[in-house]
Structure 1
Amino acid sequence: MSAVALRGPARLVVRQHRLVLWVSGALALVGVALVAGAWWFTSSAADDFAGTGCSVQHTVTGCGIQVRHFLSIELHYARLVDYAALIMAALPALIGLFVAGPLIGRELEDGTYRLSWSQSVSPARWLAARLAVPGVLTVAGVAVLSAVYAWGWSRTHETHYPSASSEPLVHGAMGPVPVASALLGLALGALIALLLRRTLPSMALTVAVSLALIVVREAVRPGGHFWPLQLTETTTLLVLAAATALAFRVLRRHHA
């Protein structure tokens, strides 16, 4: 999203936080490259191992070192996928942290929002711009990361260390659930910032609430097939994300 193609408050949001946006995009690209590169390395190791004539299932004399080396590479790939799932689970808290802190909380605490409001920008439009910009980037970015994770996870089934889609962190890192979860983190960050109107308390409470929601989700998620559970959880998260409407009500109450 280019600041040149935007106008008004949305363009200002991008210009004010372009460093954070660039860094976030760069980190996402690094993550994608890391998963793709790790699988390329693992796949190449599998080809090399197949060329030795050794077998994991029927190890023969002289193949012990090759088997251990090959299994070690596959295990490292499986662990990388686990770490990626953990990062995906933390994304809502990180997005909420950014919204509650630098994006909204700091302007409310410092009073810099008054400059925008004095230039024919209504409070509602000011808030809408601060939610629309990260909202669009969140949907696009998290959707790509979710797809890349799903691809990387599926490759574990070609190794000796497959992981099931029913595993808590795995389920929450694929499909539409991470996108809905990230939007909920954005909405919570905005609502908490408008309620507390202070940067650090807003950031701390947003992280605490986001992490608590993750724990609750993992604890109460029922068993069942992957897609029905994905659709049910996504719907629930999007309904909760409608808390954004509460943020506008809070803003209207304080600045009617």
Structure 2
Amino acid sequence: MSTVSLRGPARLVARQHRLVPWIGGALVLAWTALVAGAWWFMSSAADDFAGTGCSVQHTVRGCGIQVRHLLSVELHYGRLFDYAGPAMTALPVLIGLLVAGPVIGRELEDGTYRLSWSQSVSPAGWLAARLAVPAAVTVAGVAALSAVYAWGWSRTTATHYPVHSSEPLVYRAMGPVPVASSLLCLALGALIALLVRRTLPSMALTAVLSTAVIVALGAARPGGGFWPLQLAETALLLVLTAATTALAFRVLRRHHA
């Protein structure tokens, strides 16, 4: 996001936290390179194995080494997504921590928000900028990470070690749910920071409550197809995000009317 195209408080927020988009972009590029490299290595191993004339289902003498090598490569490829699932699940919590701490909590604790309000920026405009800029970066970054995960995951279905989308940590790493979860944690971090008004306590409480919400939604998830569940949970998460955001503005007006 270029600060040139932004105006007022949104531009200030983007400049204050200008490293965040760069870090997010580097993370997306690194994850893309890792998944693409792992897939290329697995595809090369599969092509080499096909050229040997050996079969995994009907292993004959002289093919043991080739079969073990192929299965080992496929196993490690699948494990990449098993390991990345928890990281994708924790990402919304980290985003909530960023908003609760450096973006809002620190300004409230240090009192620097008064400078913004003294320069023709209303409290509502101040909060809107501190939600809109992180939200834009979050949607772009998390959507890209989720898309790369989904692309790489889909390649496991052709291996002997498929990673099932019904697994909770895999389910939460793909589709629109990671993006919606991140937006909810972002709004929750803002609300908690406005209530607590101290950086470290706000971050700690945001971590606890965001994790509790994600765990509760996972425990309450019914059975069903992947996309119907994704769309239903995304709708619920967006409703909760809107309600939490509205409550944050209400808290702001009550304390700074």
What band does the TM-score fall into relative to the shorter chain?
over 0.9
Give the CA deviation at 1:107.
0.6
Partner of 1:254: 255
Partner of 1:115: 115
Q: Which runs of 4+ in 1 moved over 3 A?
A: none
Give the CA deviation at 1:20.
2.5
Partner of 2:58: 58
Distance in 2 separating the partners of 1:207 and 1:35: 28
Distance in 2 separating the partners of 1:197 and 1:121: 20
* Unmatched runs of 5 consecutive residues or more in structure 2: none
Task: Summarize the alignment of residues 3-18 of structure 1 with structure 2, pairs less than 5 Å apart.
Answer: 3-18=3-18
| Paired residue total | 256
Partner of 1:199: 199
Partner of 1:152: 152
Partner of 1:224: 224
Give the CA deviation at 1:17.
0.6
TM-score between the two structures when normalised by the length of structure 2? 0.96
SS in 1 for 2:164: coil
Deviations 1:15-74 (CA, angstroms, capped at 9, x unpaired): 111122211221121112111111111111111111122211111112212211111111
Distance in 2 separating the partners of 1:121 and 1:95: 25
Computed over aligned residues only, the root mean square deviation of the Cα atoms, in angstroms, reads: 1.1
Distance in 1 separating the partners of 2:241 and 2:115: 29
Distance in 2 separating the partners of 1:217 and 1:250: 25
Moved more, 173-182 or 195-204: 173-182
Deviations 1:129-178 (CA, angstroms, capped at 9, x unpaired): 01000111111221222221111111001111112222111222222111
Partner of 2:71: 71
Task: Summarize the alignment of residues 38-187 of structure 1 with structure 2, pairs less than 5 Å apart.
Answer: 38-187=38-187
Moved more, 19-28 or 98-107: 19-28
Moved more, 227-236 or 19-28: 19-28
Distance in 2 separating the partners of 1:31 and 1:10: 28
TM-score between the two structures when normalised by the length of structure 1? 0.97
Give the CA deviation at 1:122.
0.7
Distance in 1 separating the partners of 2:230 and 2:58: 40
Give the CA deviation at 1:228.
1.4
Give the CA deviation at 1:12.
0.8
Moved more, 95-104 or 55-64: 55-64
Partner of 1:32: 32
SS in 1 for 2:90: helix
